[in-house]
Amino acid sequence: MFYPSTLYRADPFVVLRRLAADLDNEVFGTGAAFPALNVWQNDEAAAITAELPGVEPGDIDIQVKENVLTLSGERKAPALPEGATWHRQERAFGRFTRAIRLPFRVDPEKVEARFADGVLRIAVGRPDEDRPRRIEIKAA
Protein backbone atom coordinates (compact mmCIF):
# COMPACT_ATOMS: atom_id res chain seq x y z
CA MET A 1 0.00 0.00 0.00
CA PHE A 2 1.12 3.52 -0.71
CA TYR A 3 0.92 6.19 2.00
CA PRO A 4 1.92 9.70 0.93
CA SER A 5 4.64 11.08 3.18
CA THR A 6 2.46 14.09 4.02
CA LEU A 7 0.13 11.77 5.95
CA TYR A 8 2.99 10.64 8.17
CA ARG A 9 3.79 14.20 9.18
CA ALA A 10 0.16 15.13 9.78
CA ASP A 11 -0.70 11.95 11.67
CA PRO A 12 2.09 9.60 12.80
CA PHE A 13 -0.45 6.91 13.76
CA VAL A 14 -2.11 6.61 10.34
CA VAL A 15 -0.08 3.49 9.55
CA LEU A 16 -1.04 1.80 12.84
CA ARG A 17 -4.73 2.53 12.33
CA ARG A 18 -4.57 1.24 8.78
CA LEU A 19 -2.78 -1.92 9.93
CA ALA A 20 -5.47 -2.55 12.58
CA ALA A 21 -8.22 -2.07 9.98
CA ASP A 22 -6.46 -4.41 7.55
CA LEU A 23 -6.10 -7.04 10.28
CA ASP A 24 -9.81 -6.81 11.10
CA ASN A 25 -10.60 -7.28 7.41
CA GLU A 26 -8.36 -10.35 7.14
CA VAL A 27 -9.55 -12.02 10.34
CA PHE A 28 -13.26 -11.25 10.22
CA GLY A 29 -13.90 -10.29 6.61
CA THR A 30 -15.35 -6.93 7.70
CA GLY A 31 -14.02 -3.55 8.69
CA ALA A 32 -15.44 -3.89 12.20
CA ALA A 33 -13.84 -5.55 15.21
CA PHE A 34 -15.76 -8.31 16.99
CA PRO A 35 -17.50 -7.97 19.29
CA ALA A 36 -18.85 -4.48 18.74
CA LEU A 37 -18.45 -2.46 21.96
CA ASN A 38 -19.89 0.64 23.57
CA VAL A 39 -18.13 2.18 26.57
CA TRP A 40 -19.24 5.09 28.73
CA GLN A 41 -18.16 6.42 32.10
CA ASN A 42 -19.08 8.76 34.91
CA ASP A 43 -17.25 9.69 38.14
CA GLU A 44 -18.15 6.39 39.83
CA ALA A 45 -17.94 3.70 37.14
CA ALA A 46 -17.66 2.67 33.53
CA ALA A 47 -20.08 0.52 31.59
CA ILE A 48 -19.23 -1.71 28.67
CA THR A 49 -21.74 -3.40 26.40
CA ALA A 50 -20.66 -6.02 23.91
CA GLU A 51 -22.80 -7.55 21.17
CA LEU A 52 -22.19 -11.31 21.24
CA PRO A 53 -24.92 -13.04 19.24
CA GLY A 54 -24.45 -16.78 19.04
CA VAL A 55 -21.98 -16.88 21.94
CA GLU A 56 -22.80 -18.84 25.08
CA PRO A 57 -22.03 -17.18 28.45
CA GLY A 58 -19.75 -20.10 29.36
CA ASP A 59 -17.61 -19.33 26.30
CA ILE A 60 -16.84 -15.78 27.49
CA ASP A 61 -13.91 -14.80 29.74
CA ILE A 62 -13.64 -11.39 31.41
CA GLN A 63 -10.43 -10.34 33.13
CA VAL A 64 -9.47 -7.04 34.68
CA LYS A 65 -6.04 -5.82 35.72
CA GLU A 66 -5.29 -2.25 36.80
CA ASN A 67 -7.10 -0.19 34.15
CA VAL A 68 -7.43 -2.80 31.38
CA LEU A 69 -10.47 -5.00 30.91
CA THR A 70 -9.96 -7.95 28.57
CA LEU A 71 -12.91 -9.70 27.00
CA SER A 72 -12.22 -12.96 25.19
CA GLY A 73 -14.07 -16.04 24.12
CA GLU A 74 -15.22 -18.09 21.20
CA ARG A 75 -18.16 -18.04 18.84
CA LYS A 76 -18.55 -21.62 17.66
CA ALA A 77 -19.62 -22.40 14.12
CA PRO A 78 -22.96 -24.19 13.88
CA ALA A 79 -22.92 -27.86 12.98
CA LEU A 80 -24.00 -28.46 9.40
CA PRO A 81 -26.27 -31.37 8.56
CA GLU A 82 -24.53 -34.33 6.95
CA GLY A 83 -23.71 -33.64 3.31
CA ALA A 84 -24.39 -29.88 3.59
CA THR A 85 -21.90 -27.25 2.48
CA TRP A 86 -21.87 -23.52 3.04
CA HIS A 87 -23.60 -21.51 0.32
CA ARG A 88 -22.78 -18.20 1.97
CA GLN A 89 -20.95 -17.51 5.23
CA GLU A 90 -20.84 -13.88 6.37
CA ARG A 91 -20.73 -14.35 10.15
CA ALA A 92 -17.28 -14.91 11.61
CA PHE A 93 -16.64 -17.79 13.98
CA GLY A 94 -13.70 -18.61 16.20
CA ARG A 95 -11.76 -17.06 19.05
CA PHE A 96 -11.88 -13.34 19.79
CA THR A 97 -10.18 -10.95 22.21
CA ARG A 98 -10.81 -7.27 22.90
CA ALA A 99 -8.81 -5.24 25.43
CA ILE A 100 -10.27 -1.98 26.69
CA ARG A 101 -8.10 0.56 28.47
CA LEU A 102 -10.29 2.36 30.98
CA PRO A 103 -9.62 5.90 32.22
CA PHE A 104 -9.13 4.75 35.82
CA ARG A 105 -7.87 1.81 37.88
CA VAL A 106 -10.51 -0.83 38.42
CA ASP A 107 -11.60 -2.22 41.77
CA PRO A 108 -11.91 -5.97 40.99
CA GLU A 109 -14.54 -6.29 43.74
CA LYS A 110 -16.72 -3.77 41.87
CA VAL A 111 -17.04 -5.57 38.54
CA GLU A 112 -20.36 -7.10 37.57
CA ALA A 113 -21.38 -8.78 34.31
CA ARG A 114 -24.80 -9.75 32.97
CA PHE A 115 -25.66 -11.50 29.72
CA ALA A 116 -29.08 -11.43 28.07
CA ASP A 117 -30.34 -11.61 24.49
CA GLY A 118 -26.82 -11.78 23.05
CA VAL A 119 -25.66 -8.60 24.81
CA LEU A 120 -23.04 -8.63 27.56
CA ARG A 121 -23.24 -5.73 30.02
CA ILE A 122 -20.27 -5.09 32.30
CA ALA A 123 -20.23 -2.50 35.09
CA VAL A 124 -16.77 -1.57 36.33
CA GLY A 125 -16.56 0.41 39.58
CA ARG A 126 -13.84 2.92 40.33
CA PRO A 127 -12.05 2.49 43.68
CA ASP A 128 -13.40 4.91 46.27
CA GLU A 129 -9.96 6.45 46.80
CA ASP A 130 -9.67 7.26 43.07
CA ARG A 131 -13.03 8.98 42.72
CA PRO A 132 -12.97 12.74 42.20
CA ARG A 133 -13.85 14.64 45.35
CA ARG A 134 -15.34 18.06 45.61
CA ILE A 135 -13.21 20.32 47.78
CA GLU A 136 -15.09 22.73 49.96
CA ILE A 137 -13.77 26.29 50.01
CA LYS A 138 -13.84 27.77 53.48
CA ALA A 139 -14.36 31.43 54.20
CA ALA A 140 -11.28 33.28 55.38
pLDDT in tens, 22-41: 665 554 444 457 899 999 99
Q: Would the pTM of this model clear 0.85, i.e. be above it? A: no
Residue 52 pLDDT > 60: yes
Strand partners, 45: 125
Residue 45 lies in a domain: yes
Can you tell me the distance from the alpha carbon of 23 to that of 135, in angstroms, rounded to the nearest whole number?
47
Number of helices and strands in the chain (H, E): 2, 7
In a domain, 23, yes or no: no
| CB-CB contact of 114 with 36 (8 Å) | no
Q: Is residue 24 part of a domain?
A: no
pLDDT band for position 16 (50/70/90)? confident
Domain range enclosing 66: 34-77+94-128
User: How buried is 91 (Cβ within 10 angstroms: 0-12 exposed, 13-18 middle, 19+ buried)?
Assistant: middle
CATH of residue 114's domain is: 2.60.40.790
Nearest to 123, CA basis, from 109, 107, 112, 108: 112
What is the pLDDT, as a whole number, of residue 32?
59
Q: What is the pLDDT of residue 2?
A: 53
- Are 50 and 71 spatial neighbours (Cβ–Cβ below 8 Å)? yes
Tally of domains within the chain: 1
Cβ atoms < 10 Å from Cβ of 103 = 9
Q: Is residue 114 part of a domain?
A: yes
Does 59 map to a domain? Answer: yes
Neighbours of 45 (CB within 10 A): 19
Return the pLDDT at 117: 94
**Residue 86 falls within a domain, yes or no?**
no
Distance CA 95, CA 59 (A): 10
pLDDT at 85: 87
Establish whether the linkage from the previous residue to 127 is cis, with ω within 30° of 0: no
Q: Which residue has the higher pLDDT, 12 or 93?
A: 93
